[in-house]
Amino acid sequence: MKLKNKIAVVTGASRGLGRAIAKRFAEEGASVCLCARNGDLLRTVSLEIMSRGGKTMFERTDITDENQVKEFVTACTSMWSRIDILVNNAGVLGSRSVLAEYALAEWQKVMAVNVTGVFLMTKHLLPHFNPGGSIINVSSSVGKVAKAGWGAYAVSKFALEGMTRLLAEEVRSQNIRVNSINPGGVATEMRHQAFPQEDQNSLRKPEEILDPFVFLASDESKGVTGQSFDAQHFKIK
Ligand code: NAP
């Protein structure tokens, strides 16, 4: 129960990695606020959490829409007044093509979720954070080392790495830490979209790579900020 009495927000909790993070955080004792666009899937995740005795709430939210983000933040804080943990997990892949051929509309869609959505959720939750809180941004290996053909997704994750370091400096004095985690390849819909030929049985499941998320969310990571972690090669820095 490393997250006992903590209140956590997880974006993109309807499936994949976000669903696994939400369930694990609830098992570790956190109350979890969930958002994504698919309300039916969110309800299922929420029922799974409650059936194991966890505390949760969810609200259908498109993180690219500032009004929806504000409504979600109001819903979370009217239930649990203060927030301890934010996992900015929601993301989209977009098309896998080189920048020279990248369509503007696709670029804008990816940036809206992976960069602007993270900014909006962070901005509106920050005033409700408890000192000692933790923000975890879900990054990617292609946001750290350039890999041709990953288009707007790669650029968005480089931006997220930058946002992580910038925000870490800005909220250090409020005793809030901000770090990023690259999950590495895990068996989810997004991974299948990126590598349709791949046998997903050869990959780790989201549930198998969650220890660094719990570490960064918990008081064990006190003082750790502005860092970038690899979930599949996790070492305490
Ligand atoms: P996924 O299965 O496609 O799940 C993505 C989640 O994001 C879904 O819950 C989706 O819910 C949500 N989402 C997308 N657009 C949204 C929006 N506008 N507003 C709110 N929620 C939105 O992908 P995943 O593999 O679990 O990815 C989770 C994170 O890990 C992403 O940031 C991704 O870049 C990162 N990552 C994954 C891998 C991997 O191998 N899987 C590797 C590196 C990094 P709705 O559709 O219901 O909105």
In short, whether 160's Cβ falls inside 6 Å of ligand 1 is no
Q: Nearest residue CA, atom 9 of ligand 1?
A: 12
Per-residue pLDDT tens listing for the chain (237 residues): 999 999 999 999 999 999 999 999 999 999 999 999 999 999 999 999 999 999 999 999 999 999 999 999 999 999 999 999 999 999 999 999 999 999 999 999 999 999 999 999 999 999 999 999 999 999 999 999 999 999 999 999 999 999 999 999 999 999 999 999 999 999 999 999 999 999 999 999 999 999 999 999 999 999 999 999 999 998 776
Predicted TM-score (pTM) of this structure: 0.98
- The C-alpha atoms of residue 196 and residue 173 are separated, in whole angstroms, by 45
- Domain of 131? 7-233
In short, whether 62's Cβ falls inside 6 Å of ligand 1 is yes
* 95 assigned to some structural domain: yes
Environment class of 55 (CB within 10 Å of its CB; exposed 0-12, middle 13-18, buried 19+): middle
CA 190–ligand 1 middle distance (angstroms): 7
Which atom of ligand 1 is found nearest the CA of 114?
32
* 17 assigned to some structural domain: yes
In short, whether 136's Cβ falls inside 6 Å of ligand 1 is no
In short, whether 36's Cβ falls inside 6 Å of ligand 1 is yes
Predicted pLDDT of residue 158: 98
| Phi then psi dihedrals of residue 150, to 5 deg | -95, 0
* 144 assigned to some structural domain: yes
* 207 assigned to some structural domain: yes
Backbone Cα Rg of the chain? 17
- The C-alpha atoms of residue 202 and residue 198 are separated, in whole angstroms, by 8
* 2 assigned to some structural domain: no
Q: What is the CATH number of the domain that holds 49?
A: 3.40.50.720
Domains contained in the chain, number: 1
* 221 assigned to some structural domain: yes
* 220 assigned to some structural domain: yes
Predicted pLDDT of residue 22: 99
Predicted pLDDT of residue 237: 60
